[in-house]
Amino acid sequence: MVQPLNYLSETTSQTAGPYVHIGLAPAAAGFDIFEKNFSHVVAGPQTRGTRIRIEGRVLDGTGTPVRDVLVESWQANSEGRFNHPDDTQTKALDPDFRGWGRSCSDFDTGVFLLDTIKPGSVPWRDGRPQAPHISLWIVARGINIGLNTRLYFSDEESANANDPVLRLIEQEVRRKTLIAERQETPDGLVYRFDIHLQGDRETVFFDI
Amino acid sequence: MSSFGTNRPAGPREGDYYQRDLTVHPPAFTPIYKTSVTRSPQKALLSLEQGIGEITGPVFTADDLGPLDNDLILNYAKTGEPIGERIIVHGRVLDENGRGVPHTLVEFWQANAGGRYRHKKDTYLAPIDPNFGGCGRCLTDENGYYYFRTIKPGPYPWRNYVNSWRPAHIHFSIFGRSFTQRLITQMYFEGDPLIDVCPIVKTIPDPEAIKRLIAPLDLRATVPLDCRAYKFDIVLRGRRSTLFENRLEGN
């Protein structure tokens, strides 16, 4: 017999279910209740940096868009600093940028949007620069525990090639599942990013 | 050594969060819960040490909330108060070290007393309650405490098996201090016989982990002649503090 190692155990995850919008995005559920709502608009009017739109879908193992998905994003500002006390870099904070957004897919098309700015580079644990990226967290009916992934940018080819996290992906063929495709549209810069939950084109998901 | 493993291990750091114990969580592929079959990754997750972007996360303040956000009895009251069992749900958000997680955002949503959700995709024949929205949110205080007032939700039928019913439950979303702590879960109520037969509950392999999702009746916190109380504590991942390892730069 030994003494008990008395750490608490993390509370178990459960699916967000099909009605996640009620709690996290009531307007999408079809009603108005809170004075202030969170949204897919990550960058405010004063936010510094290059305006971009992320436009993507989450697809299931049959290739069908998941139309009840909720995606949250977390990213650094245009200088590469996170708006959080545990980011102790000396780079400037942007007072008009929390860095977090929440997006629901459209019930018909399955498309989710994020209106944000392109993040700057953030150093990895050993000081090497990471390529610009946005962390994403995905929940939905049928997903028992939220899925973590990263979105990188197709126009950052050399930074991506040296990114310490992309290089951890053993099969090079899978690295491209994390690269969003740049498109210049009349409305501005759009990056297309489809997330495949399952199958041959399965997106890389992380245990962080 | 292969080309993808050339980075020098930086070692554990103060501020890193403990790795997730995946044995307390449901696996992704749980065929008794049918929707998980085509929505579960088949390839292994890639384990990632934590960088700055992992140990940080969004910060919320009282400015993000409204005054009635944690009172579901009043926050959608139109012509009167909602019908149903009046309850308080309260508890602490802790980490695995037993420390309270202060000033963190907790969000919750649920069906009404009859098991009907206020959602345009819910077509269950039980009626909407005109005075009940079914969602709320709050920040924990400096010790990690939260509370809200609501109506006890009813069980709810769903298309899994022909005759599947969810136990009464409240969905919870918790942020914690970092993106690694982000969690969505469900709270169940002590004594509900539907818990043991629910495929979504049964996705959890560990019976002890299931018990920790069941809130006990808390008579000491009830308001006599007004409403009962249930206590639900939530544990997020713990965080490493320095023992003897050499402190690396940045800490």
Q: Which value does ipTM take for this structure?
A: 0.96
**Average pLDDT for residues B192-198, to the nearest whole number?**
98
**pLDDT class for B248, splitting at 50, 70, 90?**
very low
Strand, helix or coil for residue B105: strand
Residue A27: phi, psi to the nearest 5?
-60, -35
**Average pLDDT for residues B184-206, to the nearest whole number?**
98
Partner-chain contact A199 B55, CB within 8 Å: no
pLDDT at B177 over 70: yes
The residues of B assigned a catalytic role are 117, 156, 166, 169, 171
**Average pLDDT for residues A77-85, to the nearest whole number?**
97
Supply the pLDDT for residue B241.
80
Among the ranges given (A145-154, B60-69, B150-159, B238-247), the one the predictor scored with the smallest mean pLDDT: B238-247
Supply the pLDDT for residue A159.
98
Reported as a single tens digit per residue, the pLDDT across A29-50 is: 999 999 999 999 999 999 999 9
For an interface test with A, which of B92, B184, B237 has the most A Cβ atoms less than 10 Å from its Cβ? B184
Residue A206 touches partner B, C-beta closer than 8 Å: yes
Supply the pLDDT for residue A158.
98
Partner-chain contact B24 A16, CB within 8 Å: no
In angstroms, the CA A45 to CA B85 distance is: 45
Nearest to B74 by CA among B150, B152, B146: B150
Supply the pLDDT for residue A194.
98
In angstroms, the CA A91 to CA A76 distance is: 11
Chain B, nearest residue to A90 by Cα: B250
Residue A141 touches partner B, C-beta closer than 8 Å: yes
In angstroms, the CA A194 to CA A65 distance is: 9
Supply the pLDDT for residue B250.
40
**Average pLDDT for residues A197-202, to the nearest whole number?**
97
Question: Cα A140–B214–B73 angle (5° rounding)?
Answer: 75
Chain A, nearest residue to B207 by Cα: A12
Residue A33 touches partner B, C-beta closer than 8 Å: yes
Supply the pLDDT for residue A58.
98
Partner-chain contact B25 A145, CB within 8 Å: yes
- According to DSSP, the residues that pair with A70 across neighbouring strands are A104, A139
Supply the pLDDT for residue B242.
60
**pLDDT class for B12, splitting at 50, 70, 90?**
low
Supply the pLDDT for residue B6.
44
Residue A13: phi, psi to the nearest 5?
-75, 150
**Closest-CA distance of chain B to residue A175, Å:** 12
